[in-house]
């Protein structure tokens, strides 16, 4: 009886350790995205970027839709960190956000987004153009 409970405790400890090691394998990298956005009520965005992960660079494409109060056009360059990824393809996915902003000339932008795979983007940068928005938006990132 004592052997069975010891064996059971060892299995539970092993399972917990396996769970911790999977999380410990998650890594981070850096991301640079250039996004062009334009719209009137319904807007769209598209752009490209680069993921630097474990010493290699990977090309990214972005696209998205905005719905709400969207007016104007802008170019946004965002730089930052992506965390909680195990491989470069974990960055690919759909990121959703609700937000508001105004850019006349140049302005600052910062955002934190999470996709369905658990990748977390922490980005900041500059926005140039004439853009007013209070909208729901989605950003899709794909690997090139």
Q: Domains, the chain, ranges and CATH? A: 27-143 (2.40.128)
Give the integer Cα–Cα distance in Å for 27 and 120. Answer: 11
Compute the residue count for the chain.
Answer: 144
Pairing of strands 27-53, 120-143: unpaired
pLDDT in tens, 37-47: 888 878 888 99
pLDDT in tens, 53-86: 999 999 999 998 877 777 788 898 999 999 999 9
């Amino acid at each position: 009886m004592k052997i069975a409970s010891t064996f059971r405790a060892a299995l539970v400890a092993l399972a917990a350790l396996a769970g911790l090691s999977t999380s410990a394998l998650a890594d981070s990298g850096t991301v640079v995205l250039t996004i062009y956005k334009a719209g009137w009520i319904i807007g769209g965005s598209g752009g490209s970027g680069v993921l630097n992960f474990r010493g290699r660079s990977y090309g990214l494409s972005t696209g998205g839709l905005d719905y709400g109060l969207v007016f104007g056009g802008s170019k946004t360059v965002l730089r930052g960190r992506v965390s909680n990824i195990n491989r470069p393809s974990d960055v690919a996915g759909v990121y959703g956000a609700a937000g508001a902003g105004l850019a006349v000339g140049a302005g600052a932008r910062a955002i934190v987004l999470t996709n369905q795979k658990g990748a977390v983007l922490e980005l900041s940068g500059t926005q140039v153009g004439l853009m007013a928005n209070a909208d729901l938006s989605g950003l899709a990132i794909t690997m090139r």
